[in-house]
Structure 1
Amino acid sequence: MKPGLRRGQLTTWKDEQGFGFIQPADGSQDVFLHITALKDRTRRPKAGDVIYYHLTFNQNREVRADKAFILGARAKSTSASRRKSTSRKTVLKHLVLVLETLFLSALPLWGSIQFAWAIANPIPLILYPVMGLWTFALYKDDKSRAKRDEWRIPENRLHLYELAGGWLGGFIAQRTIRHKNQKRSYQAVFWVIVTLHLLFWLGWFFLSKTR
């Protein structure tokens, strides 16, 4: 039996039983078609339909149609629609991540700029980026270790780097590589750390304006 897509006409179709027979275009023996072999159809088949199909064997070694579709009654390519849907979801996720990151980092970033200006020292400006990259790398390394079933990085160590300014890198890692984002106990400590940083900068702004 030669492989490949074949063409034929549905000469018999018993809709209640869900099967029929295809007369191949090459004039060979009729081929059995079951409703389950029809993919991406937009309606029920009927006698006279042109059917494209592949040949296969059933348990009794009898030839039957498989991976078939009705000419003119086939849904749009599911793979293409899935790719489009996945692409839209990916773009939306990236957009949401950017907005969330900007929202969380706006206050610390502005505070770092103001603080660096006040003390005439650029160190506060590089603290968050450096610690963020470092923490992101630790998250990635820890996830890699988990996949290899190796010794893990202690959670307290990750929290320490987050507290030292790397929480934004941890946040991005949670959203992108999906690590530590499901464990509730970890998330509770993480968001306490984020809240402490935000409260620190709110307090600093308040004190700087009252002076």
Structure 2
Amino acid sequence: MDASIEEVPVQAAAERLNRQNNTAPQAGAVTNENGLNVLSEQGQVNLSSGKKNKIVSTFSDAAAFIQSALSNKQNVGRVYLGMVPEPTAQKVLMDTGIDISGYSAVIPSGSVRHMFKRHGDPIQEAAVGQIPLTPEIAAKIPEIIAGPDKVTLSPKADVSGRPALLFEKSIADQYITVQAVSNGTHSLQTDTLYVRKKTPQDTVSNTSADAQALNSNVRNVPPQGSFSIPL
């Protein structure tokens, strides 16, 4: 069982405090345009030493990275979108038992190509009541993570063995992103994104449809490889 799922309140509290002190601005945290918290100055310095790392804080920059990942299959970089806001981390902890306080949000370029391969075809997506992805749609991932309507824990880990969280947000239609919890790097790693057309019968969530789609997406995400934040 993953350590983050075990009931170890004292250890979890200590780890949470350590992450908050070292990685995430707390009091008066500054928010990016995308809704996530700004990376600390030290965090930005650490990441800047990694050639594959890119830090973005705006919608247009996120869309540009996604377009670049699609256009250049040799692009093996990853984009850091910011830090998970503490209210969101509290919601995730309450709803799933997973502690992501002080975690960053990351989109690897390989995940971009994967999600567009599975959910970018207009005909295939229309056949299952979904909307094909575009760079502009995928650039909403940080907004979904920052302020989800609902977060659930998948009963299955992703193919890399990491716990997978399902973030849902209604933005005209129903945006659903699967985020792998990487405890080693204290980050949420995007596995995939899909957008279900909202119908008059929809409320915040269609539990049955979501569960079926989540299991399909989690098990079909290719490993992104391991990496560590330069210290």
Q: TM-score band (shorter)?
A: under 0.3
Q: TM-score, normalised by structure 1?
A: 0.26
More strand by share: 2
More helix by share: 1
Larger RCO, structures 1/2 (Cα 8 Å, 6+ apart): 2
Q: TM-score, normalised by structure 2?
A: 0.24
Give the structure with higher Rg (CA).
Answer: 1
